Structure 1
Amino acid sequence: MPRTLIKSIATIAASLTLAYAVAPAAAATTAHPAFKVDVSGKGAPIILIPGLASAGEVWNGTVAHYCGAKNQCHVLTVAGFAGVPAVAGPLLPAVEQQISDYISANKLDHPVVIGHSLGGFIGMKLAADHPDQVGRLVIVDTLPALAAVQMPSITAAQMKEMAAGMRARMEAQDVEAYRAGQQKTLASMISKQEDIDRALGWGKLSDRPTVINAMTEMMSDDMRQDISRIKAPTLVLGSWIAYKDYGTKPMFEQMYKAQYQQLAGVKVELADNARHFIMYDDPTWMYDRIDNFLK
């Protein structure tokens, strides 16, 4: 893979940091402090997990498409993001375990789990660590090992070192630089200005230490071998068009498939007209792929 493409993808991965009915009693914040839940519809359960610094509202169109008489949607917003109070301690393990507890407490029968970006990574971990709970898994534009994009043979120690360096650079930014970084990053991830503005609003309401910690946790982790434990049929939807100056679609497809090669039966598809927020840029394409996957 050309060095320019590798550097671009690594920069994109690091820059991700800047980016209904009443819920049942078991969904109360006091029971699951690592996230809040909004529930709508009836029928087969779907859990939707947004990405870094995003609100559950990012899935509004998806909820409208899927939830009603046949499906019940459980839309999460993670603690510390978009105005939801932050929690102490490592965030990703807490969210993963509390989603598992939520599934058990609400007797959700093998829910479909759909996650975007950081939410896709959480869904991946949930399906690997609790393989008998997840019915089907949809991962929207994330990878099992972001740090390995730059160096596929990276060691665990090198991964942690890279993540620590990223944390230090982010923590050193002043408020103005941080906000400018958010604007630049989201403009590369979303096509329409109104959608960029919406995501910027969520970012302003997000707890900065939580955002930095969550991204550092993800950048430090390598799920490439762990995904072999996933039993759920899995669909991975990726994007590449925003980075076409650095490589071709087949090159990006190769990268995605290489990272997911330990997940038996995984289906990988890349959108031609959507940036990172596929649910905003090309929802019709996304719904068509998920519709066919869920048949």
Structure 2
Amino acid sequence: MLIKSIAAFAAALTLGHAAAATAPATAPATAHPAFKVDVTGTGAPIILIPGLGSSGGVWDGTVAHYCGSGKHQCHVLTLAGFAGEPAIDTPLLPAVEQQLSSYIADNKLQSPVVIGHSLGGFLGMKLAAGHPEQVGRLVIVDTLPALGATQVPSITVAQLKQLAEGMRANMKGQDAQTFKAGQLSMLRTMITKQEDMDRVMAAGKLSDRSTVIDAMADLMGSDLREDISRITAPTLVLGTWIAYKDYAPKPAITAMYTTQYAKLPGVRVEIADNARHFIMYDDPAWMYDRIDNFLN
């Protein structure tokens, strides 16, 4: 049996955040309305992309680790419709990919390191596959090229899209109480400490319900297992397994990661033993050690 809990986790993350209050629907008057950017430090650029419903604040510890010494400059995104940022009226994922490519070009960022968590890791893959000349190195934190294919690896793109549309309709049809009921229990499968759960919940409550649902459905309906062959950037994938140990042992989960990333040339896959989905919260020292070795 493939790992049912990963697909369940993906849906649950949406259910948890989809109860959030709706943010304003008007886009900010900037060149990149699909995201806000906070810039810290000077030096070689690092772009940090958070996951579904999260603010750029999930990367605060990462920014402190890398961008306070003059060696790196951090460009931290918060996506439109997440954590209080105004939503946009066009599909979020393609808008982020194209506008982030323009942001890199407009700001003359040379071979930036791109680090993405969950949905942010998926967007990092999209950017690196679609604009390979713009990404120097890529770090993907706990996501897969085809998240919807964890249970049935042979599923077709058409079947994935059908699955995603069913998910979208189901989530949009549920009431707020149903969404809220599963939030805390599911967050406990993703994060270990209560204070970290509180941070994620606070951002989720400020996220736009439709944006979160649509982004999750679009993610679940996508398959980048072939597209990642176009990535030329050296790539590090950091995965987790302890939240899923009741469904499959670590070797099976590791095999799933390596199989899904098989067509990404030279990819390096590392699996954490002590962290759940939010690795930057659960085991930052492990994450920094792996990224440090990868960047040096």
Is TM (by shorter chain) over 0.5? Answer: yes
Higher relative contact order (CA 8 A, sep 6+): 2
Matched to 1:16, the amino acid is L
Matched to 2:62, the amino acid is T
Change (3 A) 1:29 1:36: farther
The structural deviation recorded for 1:11 is 1.2
Counterpart CA distance in 1 for 2:29 and 2:271 is 36
Q: What SS does the corresponding residue of 2:138 show, helix, strand or coil?
A: strand
Matched, 1:15 2:12: yes
Q: What SS does the corresponding residue of 1:113 show, helix, strand or coil?
A: strand
Counterpart CA distance in 1 for 2:77 and 2:3 is 32
Indicate the residue corresponding to 1:229 in structure 2: 230
Q: What SS does the corresponding residue of 2:120 show, helix, strand or coil?
A: helix
The structural deviation recorded for 1:8 is 2.3
Counterpart CA distance in 1 for 2:208 and 2:252 is 36
The structural deviation recorded for 1:14 is 2.1
Indicate the residue corresponding to 2:58 in structure 1: 58
Matched to 1:95, the amino acid is V
Matched to 1:66, the amino acid is Y
The structural deviation recorded for 1:186 is 1.4
Gaps of 5+ in 2: 18-27
Gaps of 5+ in 1: 20-27
Matched to 1:55, the amino acid is S
Indicate the residue corresponding to 1:116 in structure 2: 117
Q: How does 1:11-160 map to 2 (within 5 A)?
A: 11-17=8-14, 18-19=16-17, 30-68=30-68, 69-160=70-161
Indicate the residue corresponding to 1:258 in structure 2: 259
Change (3 A) 1:14 1:92: same
Counterpart CA distance in 2 for 1:95 and 1:220 is 17
Could you report, residue by residue, the CA deviation over 1:158-187 in whole angstroms, capped at 9, with x for unpaired residues?
101110111122112211221222222212
Q: How many residues align?
A: 284
Indicate the residue corresponding to 1:285 in structure 2: 286
Q: What SS does the corresponding residue of 2:134 show, helix, strand or coil?
A: coil
Counterpart CA distance in 2 for 1:32 and 1:8 is 35
For normalisation by structure 2, the TM-score amounts to 0.94
Counterpart CA distance in 1 for 2:84 and 2:10 is 24
The structural deviation recorded for 1:29 is 5.4
Counterpart CA distance in 2 for 1:149 and 1:249 is 15
The structural deviation recorded for 1:81 is 0.1
Counterpart CA distance in 2 for 1:181 and 1:89 is 29
Counterpart CA distance in 2 for 1:154 and 1:181 is 28
Indicate the residue corresponding to 1:181 in structure 2: 182
Matched to 2:3, the amino acid is I
The structural deviation recorded for 1:10 is 2.2
Root-mean-square deviation over aligned CA pairs: 1.1
Judge conservation of contact 1:29–1:35 (CA < 8 Å) in 2: no
Judge conservation of contact 2:171–2:213 (CA < 8 Å) in 1: yes
Counterpart CA distance in 2 for 1:233 and 1:70 is 20
Counterpart CA distance in 1 for 2:279 and 2:3 is 22
The structural deviation recorded for 1:13 is 2.6
The structural deviation recorded for 1:66 is 0.1
Judge conservation of contact 2:3–2:253 (CA < 8 Å) in 1: no
